[in-house]
Structure 1
């Protein structure tokens, strides 16, 4: 289990790997003298504590806990797009294994303390570099991910079911604004992964993280 994190609006988030979910559920029942189930929400019998389960990307249609447990035994393929100012990593994950991947680096100038005309010149240069980086990243995503998009994949079983993004949200938005990537943008999962500067090891870790079940605990 990943260390709990505070949730906006109250409560906390925990993340559980699919392999450990049954054990976590048994623990919740045991700690709360039983629980009632309403869809994907558990309510403890002893004190009313609630746990709302959020299925991993690609399993959004799952409506109850039994269906979630069954679906987790057949994990869907996922597309991964990790973008930060200096690097990008894209890949296709089948379970925790990458079946396609590519990592690249690019240079975007940092902010400068200079003022006046120099500051404006550096800002324009930085913006131009960021635009160029977004374009190169879109090229890379098109090359690696589009062959696995639904309707494009030669074998429907190899198609990705969701696109999981991580890193800099603004850069991700800029990349997915490319019209070629519309089939991928339509699959984008709303949860943004927190990742270090993309490397192959970071991409491999993201393939594991993306499969976790996120649980909102209140209180």
Structure 2
């Protein structure tokens, strides 16, 4: 089921466009989110960011207003090629760090050479994750909610650090390329967006 991320300020227009394309769409509050079922059989299920449960009126304006940003939260993006971590106060970035690490690519050589490259690659990845954890522990000190993205295994490796055990990972998961500043900036916006699963009939 395709998922789209819609900024809260554009949510009411998004619903209007859905109705224009699919016909009358009654809205209901269900499972902590907002559902719409159009007369042509198309439907959507919207969820607030930061795993916030919604219990307000079944109308777009109230739902958009409930898409509040926490006073303190963080973003952690990790891939083998690098990491980005940021601490935010509501929508404002307070501190961030972006790091790139070279991790050996796979080799076509066989035998001992292949094993040596694999060990080197694993060591480089471990050092990269340790560096990411060091910066995350410093920058995210005092933060509870964090949105993550990149590579699942890489993020799990960083979050395994005991210093980060107090973090609560919340949706959405962000599928991002190797973190750069532009990637981090977009991830921060996406983390605050309404997540919508859409099925077109």
Q: What per-residue deviation string (whole Å, max 9, x for no partner) do you get for residues 162-216 of structure 1?
A: 21111111110100011111111xx112532122221222211211111111211
How many residue pairs match? The answer is 192
Query: 2:41: which partner in 1?
Result: 48
Change (3 A) 1:191 1:34: closer
Relative to the length of structure 2, the TM-score reads 0.85
1:33 equivalenced with 2:30 (yes/no)? no
For residues 57-206 of structure 1, what are the structure 2 equivalents within 5 Å? 57=50, 59-64=51-56, 65=58, 68-72=63-67, 74-76=68-70, 77-146=72-141, 148-150=142-144, 162-184=145-167, 187-206=168-187
Deviation at 1:27, TM superposition (A): 3.1
- 1-structure distance, mates of 2:54, 2:162: 30
1:216 equivalenced with 2:197 (yes/no)? yes
Q: Is the 8 A contact 2:69 2:91 kept in 1?
A: no
Q: Is the 8 A contact 1:95 1:207 kept in 2?
A: no
Q: What per-residue deviation string (whole Å, max 9, x for no partner) do you get for residues 113-139 of structure 1?
A: 110011111111111121121111111
Query: 1:154: which partner in 2?
Result: none
Change (3 A) 1:135 1:34: closer
- 2-structure distance, mates of 1:118, 1:217: 48
The DSSP-based 3-state class of the residue aligned with 1:128 is helix
Deviation at 1:13, TM superposition (A): 2.3
Q: Is the 8 A contact 2:98 2:181 kept in 1?
A: yes
Provide the aligned C-alpha RMSD in A: 2.0
Q: Is the 8 A contact 2:172 2:191 kept in 1?
A: no
The DSSP-based 3-state class of the residue aligned with 2:18 is helix
Relative to the length of structure 1, the TM-score reads 0.79
Query: 1:153: which partner in 2?
Result: none
The DSSP-based 3-state class of the residue aligned with 2:49 is coil
Q: Which runs of 5+ in 2 are unaligned?
A: none
The DSSP-based 3-state class of the residue aligned with 2:53 is coil
